[in-house]
Amino acid sequence: MKLNNSYCGQNESIFMQEQDKIIEISQTFPMTVSRRKLLGGMVTTAVAITQSANGQTIQKGLTDEDPTKVTGTLAGEIGTRSPFVKSVKKPSDISSRSPLQDFYGFITPSDLHFERHHGGVPLIDPQKHELIIHGLVEKPLKFSLADLKRFPSVSRIAFLECSGNFRTGKETMTPQEIAGLTSQSEWTGVKLATLFREVGVKPSAKWFLAEGGDSAVMTRSIPVAKGWEDAIIAYGQNGEPVRPEQGFPFRLFLPGWEGNTSVKWLRRIELSDEPFMTREETSKYTEAIKDGKIRMFSFDIDARSIITFPSFPQSIEKGWIEIKGLAWSGRGKVLKVEVSTNAGKTWQVANIQEPVLDKAHVRFRYLWKWNGEETEIMSRVTDETGYTQPTFQQLVEARGSEMGGYHLNPITAWQIKKDGRVLLKPENLRA
Amino acid sequence: MKALYLYFGLLINTCFIYFFPTWGKPISQAKQIHADTTLYGFGRAVTQAEIDKIDIDVSPSGKGLPQGKGIATEGKKIFEAKCVACHGIGGTGGVGGVLVTTNDTKIKKKEKTIGNYWPFATTVFDYVRRAMPFNQPGSLSNQEVYHLTAYLLHANGIIDEKKIIDAQTLPKIEMPNHKAFVPDDRTGGSIIR
């Protein structure tokens, strides 16, 4: 497709019509020359730009060109990922997993934050959306997004993890497949405690119901103490409005607690003297333990770590290797991460990247010289409560062989093969 | 269950430590934030009518249950029209999952169902009304939800076919698995639980 892109004619908007088609640009030279226009003017048929469905301008193709001999793409409205980077979430019918193996830092890019929802992502017009707080309060109130933004705000970097974040069973699994239902953002909003004061929560209130405005009308009962302690009604994520998949226009955010409790698209909070026993805290998000017992209201995320490099499907070469990974705890700060390069016989303390934040992912690194022999590498984290990440076997011993699928945080071991291949050591292969 | 809430309430009140981060907070402001008792007056009063429009939750006590009553025989008809496509004939399985316990020994891992897992009968009413049918959530009348609740409880062998389900009877139904539920005993520290 050939377009005549005249800057004088103000038809830059042509880009917005295209959906992943290659556009060749040629254009008339501008009447008045500014640096930007001159740059633009030098773009003739040489640059190919594609336009993604959501209006991003993306560099594409022309890989045989010397980039110092052609003008690059113009400044755009939305940043892009290099066409050479394929970093994507891995969706299933009910969730979408973060590519943990692709990340360098401890913040998850917002568009790669894992997704889990029970009735799809709703399209919500913030003008028509309100948060109602009622029940055991002195003064029931409703808040628009604009109202919430008027209150003093807080920001906090913390992880969010689904309590059903554990997969195993075969050697060919990536960190994303094993543990991709955890992500980290800077969340900005108003403290729920501020709103609690505003409505006058009565002393008789012990629980509150958090309810979403999605088609599942998601509900969880939360102890009031957590609301006073550190709950946030978040409208910001990594500096921009919370993304639709994460609860636009605002969500509840409960640091350190299982992701489902951080109800998205929040529309209602009801204060009560009892929990509501909703489906998500009875039929789901409860787990069998020993003696036929079932644990409920198991909110805290226990400490966990995972090596994200080297991991399947990468392979390694003899010599120095920087083992890298993520560690976190829902009960406080990460105290230390240890790495074993001999199948758990001995452990060495890994370096942890500052800052180490409360209830937040940290990155750890450990330098290792691989001699080419077969081995297993693994990591374990200890948090500030003195809790050390268990093995799968320890979890089975503690909870029984019928243990449920929530809150599983075992040590993940990677097998290093002689030829350098890295394979998961799935739980069913262990002694 | 009462004891459970009590125990749980205690646990929370005694175990919570203030973990709110102090990093990045100018020292001079830290005091101000902790002493935050200001009322700002933002937000608007909400009327009871506005609350009632979206206050759809039902508690184990029966609070929130609307008027009306249901019976399994009527619920069966509605289930066959609106639910079988995803939950199978008699609720025994489909893309939406199993709702009814079967004695099928071929099913190795026993599916969790209303009959063998759910601790409260009121949850059936609450959930079906808020989220089902999956493709048309919020479309059922209270009357239909009562019938469907009666049907699902009957199909799971919890009530007999003639039992009337309403705001008085539903909270009183004892669920077979109720006693299995215990509060979280994990506390951090050196013990793996």
Report ipTM (2 d.p.). Answer: 0.85
DSSP B24-70: T--HHHHHHHHT-------SEE--HHHHHHH-----TT-TT--S-EE
Given a cut of 60, is residue A20 above it in pLDDT?
no
- State whether B123 and A277 contact (CB < 8 Å): yes
Per-residue model confidence (pLDDT) at position A394? 96
Chain A contact for B27 (CB, 8 A cutoff): no
Tens digits of residue pLDDT in B21-38:
444 444 444 444 444 788
Chain A contact for B127 (CB, 8 A cutoff): yes
The domain locations on chain B are 68-180
Per-residue model confidence (pLDDT) at position B111? 86
- State whether A385 and B188 contact (CB < 8 Å): yes
- State whether A278 and B60 contact (CB < 8 Å): no
In this prediction, residue A314 has a pLDDT band, given cuts at 50, 70 and 90, of very high
Tens digits of residue pLDDT in A226-281:
999 999 999 999 999 999 999 999 999 999 999 999 999 999 999 999 999 999 99
Closest to B123 (Cβ–Cβ): which among A143, A229, A282?
A282
Chain A contact for B43 (CB, 8 A cutoff): yes
- Residue from A201, A261, A282, A384 whose CB has the most chain B CBs within 10 Å, to mutate: A282
Nearest alpha carbon to residue A158 among B33, B19, B31: B19
Enumerate domains of chain A plus CATH numbers. Answer: 2-60 (no CATH), 104-285 (3.90.420.10), 304-424 (2.60.40.650)
Per-residue model confidence (pLDDT) at position A46? 42
Distance CA B162, CA B154 (A): 9
- For chain A, give the mean pLDDT: 89
Nearest chain B alpha carbon to A196: B39
| Helix axes of B122-131 and B142-155: crossing angle, nearest 10 degrees | 130
Distance CA B49, CA B64 (A): 14
A-chain residues near B45 (CB < 8 A): 139-142
- State whether B188 and A282 contact (CB < 8 Å): no
Chain A contact for B109 (CB, 8 A cutoff): no
Direct distance between the N- and C-terminal alpha carbons of chain B, in angstroms, rounded to an integer: 22
In this prediction, residue A55 has a pLDDT band, given cuts at 50, 70 and 90, of low
Per-residue model confidence (pLDDT) at position A431? 45
Neighbours of A230 (CB within 10 A): 24
Per-residue model confidence (pLDDT) at position B116? 94
What global pTM score does this model have? 0.87
DSSP A301-313: PPPEEEEEES-TT
User: For the domain bounded by B68-180, which CATH number is listed?
Assistant: 1.10.760.10
- State whether A198 and B180 contact (CB < 8 Å): no
Given a cut of 70, is residue A303 above it in pLDDT?
yes
Nearest chain B alpha carbon to A292: B180
- State whether B55 and A270 contact (CB < 8 Å): yes
Of residues A3 and B59, more confidence is placed in B59
Instruction: Give the A:B interface size as CB pairs under 8 Å.
Output: 190
Chain A contact for B7 (CB, 8 A cutoff): no
Given a cut of 60, is residue A33 above it in pLDDT?
no
Pair type for strands A348-349 and A95-97? unpaired
Nearest chain A alpha carbon to B119: A282
Distance from CA of B136 to the nearest CA of A (A): 9
Q: What order do you get walking across the sheet with A48-51 strand by strand?
A: A2-4, A22-26, A48-51, A57-59
A-chain residues near B46 (CB < 8 A): 132, 134, 140-142
- State whether A230 and B46 contact (CB < 8 Å): no
